[in-house]
Amino acid sequence: MIHVQGLEKSFGDRPILLGVDLLCRTGETTVILGGSGAGKSVLMKHMVGLLTGDKGSVEVDGQQVGELDAAGLRALRDRVGMVFQQSALFDSMTVFENVAFPVTQAAREKLSPSELAERVHESLALFDLHDVDDLTPAELSGGMRKRVALARAIIRRPGIVLYDELTTGLDPVTTRQVDSMIQTARQKLGVTSVVISHDIGSAFRVADQIAFLHEGRILAHGRPEEMRRSEQPELKEFLSSWEPA
């Protein structure tokens, strides 16, 4: 579903990505694991054309992202849901309005009020959210805000969902709830998921594949059990800080 080859990116004289190769298989969850400043979010932004690489290529669902014009990028982003670290809900909108927003703003998708309500409630119910239509983000717990953000991301039934550092700053209980919702999206909707994270425990719970990004390069890539056994020095050092619960 996503194929990155030889991707390089610098900002001024500061190199960020130094020839990244990555394959994200259809219907699987790939976690891009690494420390702060490794280039994880920069890599994700290339997948939806928010950034363009200096060298290399990014192919998403058979399309070369760097070759798409504005209309092509809009069409691509229609097929990709994004969930951000801070949820990025609109404070002035209710839960219903937040979840409905991608549909109400889509020029090519017009639903009747009853159809829209059905779609919103189906999306919320996937993540065990009921009777929350009229609540505002300020009235929700951190975990509920994450679930509302994911309901908004999947309301148009995208084939790909990107998650950016969702568990940063969350307590262990809420972190496991977020992990569960990522698994729910994959199991019930069959989406291809890419998760940006530095949370080792969360990565091993949700991933089908883990790619370890360190100083702009993928140094190891494989199934979770393969990563646990890896002798790659930087990965071993990174994993050594993890104490399984």
- Is residue 99 included in any domain, yes or no? yes
- Is residue 175 included in any domain, yes or no? no
Range of the structural domain that residue 120 is part of: 87-157
- Is residue 216 included in any domain, yes or no? no
The percentage of residues in the chain with a pLDDT greater than 70, rounded to a whole number, is 96
In the chain, where does DSSP find H-type helix? 40-47, 70-78, 95-104, 113-125, 142-154, 172-189, 200-206, 224-229, 233-239
Average pLDDT over residues 102-114: 77
- Is residue 152 included in any domain, yes or no? yes
Question: Residue 119 — very low, low, confident or very high, per pLDDT cuts 50/70/90?
Answer: very high
Residue 234 confidence (pLDDT): 95
Most confident of 77-86, 176-185, 219-228: 219-228
pTM over 0.85: yes
Per residue in 131-184, pLDDT (tens digit) is: 999 999 999 988 888 889 989 999 988 999 999 887 777 788 888 888 888 898
The type of residue at 212 is: F
Residue 108 confidence (pLDDT): 61
Residue 100 confidence (pLDDT): 93
What is each CA distance from 165 to 13, 32, 136, 144, in whole angstroms?
A: 26, 10, 23, 16
Residue 245 has pLDDT above 70, yes or no: no
Average pLDDT over residues 29-35: 94
- Is residue 132 included in any domain, yes or no? yes
- Is residue 166 included in any domain, yes or no? no
**Residue 186 — φ and ψ, nearest 5°?**
-70, -45
- Is residue 22 included in any domain, yes or no? no
Average pLDDT over residues 52-75: 93
Residue 78 confidence (pLDDT): 84
Average pLDDT over residues 220-245: 89
Q: Sheet harboring 29-33: ordered strands across? A: 80-83, 160-164, 192-197, 29-33, 209-214, 217-222
Total domains present in the chain: 1
